[in-house]
């Protein structure tokens, strides 16, 4: 009997203790708290970034640009070597987006920069674009750079075809043209300067029917370095020209002292950086542009051809940045369809 009474006392007591323990465990105030999760990424959550509707979308503003160590193709085989350039790009029609799919529609404005052109590209420019018309006074031109001078060889047409060779010094005129001053002229392997003096003539009298962007003063040939280029149209003010290595180096400076841009990938040796304005590339419109275009092979200049930019895009890859900008890695134009080079970047 005493044992039964003890059980009746102990059992309810155990039930009370058990219920109390369960209550204590379930009570939120006593539950152990886990540490709050840390941020998973530095990318702002969608909807929280300060991305106001940009007023530059319509109408579009100019796109600021900066380039370094870029071979900017004129056509498939000829290219200008942009050592450095700070400028703007914009559509010829005010307010329209910059359209990479039609180089005839936009303008590149150079604030300051250094642009080199080698003999092969000069040869292509003169034969394919400058003197490529019926009745041109010069044809079959070959330009080389030798011992700090520009050397031109070809055919001079004046009633009959006359082979010539001219060695010239280069300089810039006050209005921003390139002056070629001959130090030696050979006509049919003879002393051309002596022949012209004997007959009282000069290149100015011989070379007529000249194209736009070219004129002759006595024996000096003057060339508008930007006026002779095919699209896209380039604007700028040439202040200096000299021979550096195997290039005719052109220095541009409009005197405004525009500050350089700060590209997102500061370590890239070769790039084209575009900021602000609206860019159109195929079906893609990038508003308030912030695009850093880098070549996948940093060991040589960035070989870029706007006519085939989409093929270069397809062969490369891109990465969005936390600030909603875009890093685009393109293969060099000359590397398209070829095996990867040692050390070339590939998509992770």
Strand 290-295 to strand 302-304: parallel, antiparallel, or no bridges (unpaired)? Answer: unpaired
Cβ of 296: how many Cβ atoms within 10 Å?
Answer: 21
- In this prediction, residues 300-314 reach a mean pLDDT of 96
Residue 159 is predicted with a pLDDT of 72
DSSP state, 122? H
Instruction: Report the C-alpha gap between 216 and 235 in whole angstroms.
Output: 23
Which DSSP string corresponds to 274-299?
A: EESSEEEETTEEEES-EEEEEES-TT
- Asked if 80 and 72 count as a contact pair (C-beta separation under 8 A), the reply is yes
Residue 235 is predicted with a pLDDT of 97
The confidence band for 144, taking pLDDT boundaries of 50, 70 and 90, is very high
Supply the mean pLDDT for the chain: 86
- What the block records as the tokens of 163 is 């082979």
| pLDDT exceeds cutoff 60 at 304 | yes
| pLDDT exceeds cutoff 50 at 6 | no
Entry field: residues in the chain: 348
Instruction: Report the C-alpha gap between 240 and 244 in whole angstroms.
Output: 12
Instruction: Report the C-alpha gap between 134 and 287 in whole angstroms.
Output: 45
| pLDDT exceeds cutoff 70 at 31 | no
Residue 157 is predicted with a pLDDT of 84
Q: Is 96 or 51 the better-scoring residue by pLDDT? A: 96
| pLDDT exceeds cutoff 90 at 12 | no
Residue 237 is predicted with a pLDDT of 98
Which spans in the chain are helix H?
A: 2-26, 119-125, 192-199, 203-206, 309-315
Residue 202 is predicted with a pLDDT of 81
DSSP state, 95? B
**Residue 12: phi, psi to the nearest 5?**
-60, -35
Q: Write out pLDDT tens, residues 275-299.
A: 999 999 988 889 899 999 999 999 9
Q: Is 236 or 17 the better-scoring residue by pLDDT? A: 236
- In this prediction, residues 195-204 reach a mean pLDDT of 74
pTM for this entry: 0.82
- Asked if 265 and 329 count as a contact pair (C-beta separation under 8 A), the reply is no
The confidence band for 270, taking pLDDT boundaries of 50, 70 and 90, is very high
Lowest mean pLDDT across 148-157, 164-173, 193-202, 257-266: 193-202
| pLDDT exceeds cutoff 50 at 181 | yes
Q: Is 139 or 4 the better-scoring residue by pLDDT? A: 139
- In this prediction, residues 41-48 reach a mean pLDDT of 63
Residue 23 is predicted with a pLDDT of 37
Residue 4 is predicted with a pLDDT of 47
């Amino acid at each position: 009997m005493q044992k039964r009474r003890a059980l009746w006392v102990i059992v309810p007591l155990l039930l009370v203790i058990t219920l109390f323990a369960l209550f204590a465990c379930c009570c939120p105030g006593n539950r152990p708290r886990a540490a709050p999760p840390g941020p998973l990424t530095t990318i702002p959550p969608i909807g929280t970034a300060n991305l106001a509707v940009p007023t530059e979308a319509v109408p579009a503003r100019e796109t600021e640009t900066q380039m370094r160590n870029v071979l900017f193709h004129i056509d498939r085989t000829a290219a200008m070597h942009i050592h450095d350039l700070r400028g703007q790009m914009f559509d010829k029609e005010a307010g329209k987006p910059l359209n990479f799919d039609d180089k005839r529609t936009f303008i590149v404005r150079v604030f300051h920069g250094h642009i080199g052109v080698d003999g092969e590209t000069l040869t292509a420019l003169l034969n394919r674009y400058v003197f490529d018309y019926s009745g041109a006074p010069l044809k079959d031109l070959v330009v080389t750079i030798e011992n700090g001078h520009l050397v031109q060889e070809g055919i001079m047409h004046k009633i009959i075809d006359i082979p010539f060779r001219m060695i010239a010094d280069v300089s810039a005129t006050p209005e921003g043209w390139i002056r070629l001053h001959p130090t030696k002229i050979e006509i049919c392997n003879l002393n051309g300067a002596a022949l012209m003096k004997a007959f009282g003539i000069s290149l100015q009298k011989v070379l007529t029917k000249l194209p736009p962007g070219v004129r002759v003063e006595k024996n000096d040939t003057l060339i508008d370095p930007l006026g002779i280029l095919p699209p896209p149209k380039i604007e700028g003010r040439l202040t200096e020209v000299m021979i550096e290595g195997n290039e005719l180096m052109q220095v541009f400076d409009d005197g405004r002292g525009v500050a350089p841009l700060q590209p997102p990938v500061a370590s890239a040796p070769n790039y084209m950086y575009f900021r602000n304005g609206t860019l159109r590339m195929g079906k893609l419109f990038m508003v308030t542009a912030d695009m850093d275009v880098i070549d996948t092979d940093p060991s040589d200049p960035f070989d870029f051809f706007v006519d085939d930019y989409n093929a270069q895009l397809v062969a490369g890859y891109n990465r969005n940045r936390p600030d909603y900008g875009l890093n685009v890695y393109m293969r060099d134009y000359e590397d398209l369809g070829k095996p990867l080079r040692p050390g070339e970047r590939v998509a992770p």
